Amino acid sequence: MTLTKEKIITSIYDQVGLSKSQSQSVVEKLLEIIKEALEKGEDILISGFGKFAVKNKTERRGRNPQTTEELKLRARRVVVFKTSGVLRDRINGED
């Protein structure tokens, strides 16, 4: 089962008591804040959850596995996520 934005909005609606439109507004604004920070290259640290960081990948050589054709992969920025110890323990049932 995948947790979707709609399911997050519904959970906020059910658990916090905000209206559906207020819940949607909160989720949309939070995601916008996160996107803007990542665009600026800022890290996002959420205690007890994890850290989102932007990493720069340099240009490198690659290969198409179907055709074995050599190609160049362009330099790019990627978002990486590292879980906190608390979340990692919870996922592994080590509460």
Q: Is the pLDDT of residue 1 over 90?
A: no
- pLDDT confidence of residue 94: 83
Query: Chain-wide mean pLDDT for the chain?
Result: 95
User: Which domains does the chain carry?
Assistant: 1-40 (4.10.520.10), 41-95 (4.10.520.10)
Q: Is the pLDDT of residue 95 over 80?
A: no
Burial 66-76 (b: 16+ CB within 10 A, else e): eeeeeeeeeee
pLDDT tens column, 46-89: 999 999 999 999 999 999 999 999 999 999 999 999 999 999 99
